[in-house]
Amino acid sequence: MADPNALHEEGLRHYQAGRYDEAAACFDAACDLFAARGDTLAAAEMKNDLGVVYRAQHRWDEATAAFAAAQRDFEQLGDRAREGQALGNLGSLYLARGQLDQAASYLGRAAVRLQQAGEHQLESDTRRLLSSVRLRQRRWLEALVIYEASLTCLPRLPLGRRFLLYFLRFLLRLSGIGT
């Protein structure tokens, strides 16, 4: 029986080299082997990796199915951080397809899960991406509020970002939204 960890590593090498079909085959085989061993977490990781490969190939439906399956598995396992990452992957997939409403929905859910998991940097990155979605939708004030949240969720901000945060708060107060 093949080693699923070795297959995963081989899949990563293929992916980094741009050999997506080979990467997908490795991740799929590793997923089956992990599942046969009862390692649901590792199998879910392989589904997530498959989604990344399919997204790179613009195989949207397969990527959506893989990310959604991984998200469901992570949710059942109670792994909020990985569930948030899978939701974020779904959001970025919908963004790449130009489906902004779905992208915003998944990115918002991802940010909540990442916040619950204490993944501050990933939460911040996700909120910034969600803010850019709201800008593309011309929902200006909502984009500013979300961008502010992307800064406030970080425990420490460099001086430039602190200045940006104060400026955003000033703009939000002027608009009647901020405190």
Q: Domains (ranges, CATH) in the chain?
A: 4-150 (1.25.40.10)
**Confidence band, pLDDT 50/70/90 cuts, at residue 179:** low
Residue range 85-118, pLDDT digits in tens: 999 999 999 999 999 999 999 999 999 999 999 9
Q: Is the pLDDT higher at 18 or at 155?
A: 18
Buried b (16+ CB within 10 A) or exposed e, 23-62: bbbbbbbbbebbbeeeeeebbbbbbbbbbbbbbeeebeee
User: Do 92 and 110 contact (CB within 8 A), yes or no?
Assistant: no
Task: Say what the pTM is.
Answer: 0.87
Tens-place pLDDT, residues 50-90: 999 999 999 999 999 999 999 999 999 999 999 999 999 99
Contact (CB, 8 A) for 172 and 144: yes
